[in-house]
Structure 1
Amino acid sequence: MSNGGVFNDSLLYHKIQNTENFPEATCFPGRKVPVPYVFVADAAFALSDRIMKPYPGVSPYGSQQRIFNQHLSRARVVIECTFGIMTSVFRVFEKPMLLQPDKAAIITLTCVILHNFLKKSRTSRNMYVPKGTIERLIQEEQNLLLPLTQTPRRPTEKAKRIRQEFAAYLYSLRH
């Protein structure tokens, strides 16, 4: 089964699809179309109202689609870097946790809270994440991210409109 197929059968996917778990959709500054809060994904996952994935193929330089894909890729890199930092500090993430899911969730949430504290604290942030580390990791990660196998799916028109609104807004920031 593909990553997307496994994800579609998961509890997380069903919670994401339940819109009562999210803040209300809002408009970007200067825009009139409200967009929901979304999760960032790669091409292996299905585009939906709550999951944004890149436009397929290679878009022309400077196009809305290409700018959107670049921003989505940067967001994925930041996420990957954060997990890399957390894994290097909290070794519990180096191998599968042989725990009940509720206990693994508590440990993960605790590590996220500690990560945020260490990163923001005046006394620890320079030791936890020295200046330039994130930028260096992002540069390295840009070259390491490989696309996963894409499984063709037909997204809803609503999901396409949401992605288009994200693309139009990001494009407007450059022009």
Structure 2
Amino acid sequence: MPEFIKLPEGDALREVLQGFQMRVRFPQCAGAIDGSHIPIIAPEENHVDYFNCKGWHSVLLQGVVDHQFCFTNIYTGWPGSVHDARVLRNSCVFAMAERGELFPPRQGKINGVQVPIMLLGDPAYPMRSRRVKGYTDTGNLTEQQRYFNERHSKARVTVECAFGRLKGRWRCLGKRLDVDISTVPTIISACCTVHNVCEKHGEAYEGPAQAILQDNRIAEGGAQDAAEPTRVREALTEFFLHPTLIHIRNFI
């Protein structure tokens, strides 16, 4: 697993940044992060903890995905009742980001605002300068904010597609895993590893039309967004609406 699932560095990081820039024109994006429920047979002990908001038992898989639907980081084993944000806070990705070690400190500038290399997440996750989410739609979004959300969604959908391809390839992850709960994380990790092998070698993929289990999430309440990540998102918002008029430099 360490050979095939690892956060990009050096030339690999530049390739991912360029990949998101070319495919969806989202600068400084090093990946998308999300969580997915893996169905399991109710364990004998603490089975209530594994009962998720959809009405079935599951284990959570948190994944970071690059522009080619490959996992660059996974974290799994938490019971299905746990919120995505709590799983994130206990993961190495969160710890590394808080220490400033997730990606190199190289930053681009948009109209004077420092824009770091970042991951894109959905509303379930807290806002950080290196983890940017879309604007909350309260019915009063501006044209610029709606357009930012569209661009953000196009880039972030890569992780949803990766989960769909993962479950389409390994059907055991789309139905209830009938194994001891202690073995579940190993099976999930093995499937993610071989998924990357398949993707990197161009293995043909033929999956079901609806391989992704849709997860309805309610974002946890928390503190207001810090000024720095808010400025980063606002700078990107302006850039997406007027890319030819915005001064942008120093991107990898």
TM-score (norm 2): 0.50
Counterpart Cα distance in 1 of 2:199 and 2:173 = 13
Match for 1:148 among 217, 220, 227? 217
Q: Which has the higher helix share?
A: 1
Q: Which residue of 2 aligns with 1:121?
A: none
Q: Which residue of 1 aligns with 2:205?
A: 128
Percent identical pairs in the alignment equals 20
Once the two structures are superposed, the pairs formed by residues 58-137 of structure 1 within 5 Å of their partners are 58-60=139-141, 63-91=143-171, 93-94=173-174, 98-99=182-183, 105=189, 108-118=192-202, 127-128=204-205
Equivalent residue letter for 1:157: A
Instruction: State yes or no: 1:10 paired with 2:91.
Output: yes
Q: How many residues align?
A: 158
Counterpart Cα distance in 1 of 2:220 and 2:196 = 31
Deviation larger for 146-155 or 101-110: 101-110
Q: Which has the higher strand share?
A: 2
Gaps of 5+ in 1: 119-123
Gaps of 5+ in 2: 1-81, 246-252
Secondary structure at 1:19 match in 2: coil
1:3-54 deviation per Cα after TM superposition (whole angstroms, max 9, x unaligned):
21332233332123232230333326x7543311211111111101111111
Native 8 Å contact 1:67 1:167 kept in 2: yes
Counterpart Cα distance in 1 of 2:186 and 2:98 = 21
Native 8 Å contact 1:64 1:171 kept in 2: yes
Q: Which residue of 2 aligns with 1:161?
A: 231
Deviation (angstroms), 1:155 = 1.6
Counterpart Cα distance in 1 of 2:167 and 2:244 = 35
Distance verdict in 2 for CA 1:31–1:3, change over 3 Å: same
Higher RCO (CA 8 Å, separation ≥ 6 residues): 1
TM-score (norm 1): 0.68
Native 8 Å contact 2:93 2:102 kept in 1: no
Q: Which residue of 2 aligns with 1:23?
A: 104
Counterpart Cα distance in 1 of 2:190 and 2:99 = 22
